[in-house]
Amino acid sequence: MKKSHENWNDYLTESADYPEELYQSTDRLALRIRKEKRKKRLLFSSIPTTAAALLFVILMNTSVVFARTMADIPILSRISELVMYNKSLKSAVENRNIQYVNLKSENGDLELKLPYVIADSKNLVLFLEMPENLELSENERYDISIDHLRDLSTDDFIASGFLSFSGSYTKGQDPLLSVSMEFVDRNLPGYPEVKELPKAFTLSLSLTRYSNEDQYLQRPLSIDSFQFDLSLDEFRKPVTYPLNEEIIIEGQKILFKEMVSYPVRSEITFEFSEENDADMNLRLSLLEDGVKSSLGSYAYLSQTVDGTKTETIHIRSDYFDPPKSRSISIDRYTIIREEEREIKVDLDARTLTPETEGIELSDVEHMDGELIFTFKTSERYPYSPFAFISDQGHSVEILKEAYRSTDTEQFHLYHIEEADYEELEFILTSGPEYTLEEPILIPIPVGN
């Protein structure tokens, strides 16, 4: 059994480093606490109570790391709960890819705190603590969102080229929120091209109060702005996994090019050949170690350059501990033939030109100064078939859309203003969705 002064020295040595378990998820934190309790029983059984109290006071007053550790345990525990169901962020926290910034921003009597961030070259996740003195009724909420950045090394103003995901706060909710942004390879004219997140920048956010009863107009009741100056640690390098897998569906060629893995998320890029004669969209799932998860429509980013359509899927995948096996599963697809995209409507004969398989004009009604077109489809459309209507090249406003279905048929209704139209054209923007008999699997390499 160690002597008292040896235990004392061990405890001082242990407190010199930032405990790695604070970077781990809730279950590991609980395990740490149980271990610490056992250590404390051994330590304090051999150190007098007065000496133990003196030890705690000395550490709190002389060790910045120890004092910060004690204060941050509740925050890190709550962050663990926030990221528990996001495998990318959960793994980032467990593997110390989280940075303590300890920033505060004031606007009047409101103070917004930013204790921690997770960042890589394409992503930024903010863990924010809402002001303690927010005035909020039961029917109101606050939305907090990222407005823009200013690169402190170049003074460039960055307001495009990224996706921002806001957070919402309601009365009685835990005031710790996460807000994030993802940089994408698309920029708006007039703005500098941004390839990655700067390491030093000023971040501007808005805290906007809304009424939950005002669901459609969404007029802000108040807007408060906050700014933080951030200096980030070096980013971990992304890992690229070549795919180079070409598939053909209904004569359309699709090349899966690569997967790039970042600590916060990963992205898979594939492109449709310029030789294709139809517009196709894929619905995919991610298969990791036998567990399949659907990739929602939010994950897709699409752009067409020189006739080649490229799509990028953003997915959650473990950068630090890749699965033993993984693949992309192509489950469903939609397709629009180019010759079927513009559909002319004959109001008198109630016919469509060209005739499009699976869709027909079932009714045209005149009601209260409106024309109501009802299209019947035999196949399921994941989205409304038509997004645009024109007459002799002039846009016609869609006043209202509606949808109803039976077990075998779907009905899509479009309201437009009643007028003397020369030649109405409905522009097909979504095709019917077909399910493959056997999913097509695209293997993804594993291991960093």
Phi, psi (deg, nearest 5) at residue 89: -70, -40
Read off the pTM.
Answer: 0.73
- 3-state DSSP assignment of residue 14: helix
**Residue 431 in contact with residue 359, Cβ under 8 Å?**
no
Which ranges constitute the DSSP H helices of 26-86? 26-46, 49-62, 64-82
Q: Would strands 222-231 and 239-249 be described as parallel, antiparallel, or unpaired?
A: unpaired
Q: Express each pLDDT in 135-149 by its tens digit.
A: 888 888 889 999 999
- Segment 418-430 shows an average pLDDT of 91
What's the confidence (pLDDT) of residue 73? 60
Which letter does DSSP use for residue 30 in this model? H
**pLDDT surpassing 70 at residue 161:** yes
Q: Express each pLDDT in 39-78 by its tens digit.
A: 444 443 444 545 544 444 444 344 444 344 444 567 778 8
**pLDDT surpassing 70 at residue 356:** yes
**Residue 409 in contact with residue 377, Cβ under 8 Å?**
yes
The Cα 378–Cα 381 span in angstroms is: 9
Q: Express each pLDDT in 227-260 by its tens digit.
A: 999 999 999 999 999 999 999 999 999 999 999 9
Q: Express each pLDDT in 298-324 by its tens digit.
A: 556 777 777 788 888 888 888 998 899
Phi, psi (deg, nearest 5) at residue 167: -120, 155
The angle formed by the CA atoms of residues 430, 384 and 186, to the nearest 5 degrees, is: 55
What's the confidence (pLDDT) of residue 217? 59
- Segment 88-92 shows an average pLDDT of 88
Q: Nearest CA to 72 among 35, 19, 27, 33?
A: 19
What are the residues whose beta carbons fall under 8 Å from the beta carbon of 435, sequence distance 6 or more?
Answer: 331, 332
A 10 A CB-CB count for 184 gives: 17
What's the confidence (pLDDT) of residue 86? 84
What's the confidence (pLDDT) of residue 193? 63
Q: Which of 6 and 373 is assigned the larger pLDDT?
A: 373
Q: Nearest CA to 128 among 163, 97, 102, 89?
A: 102
The Cα 89–Cα 230 span in angstroms is: 20
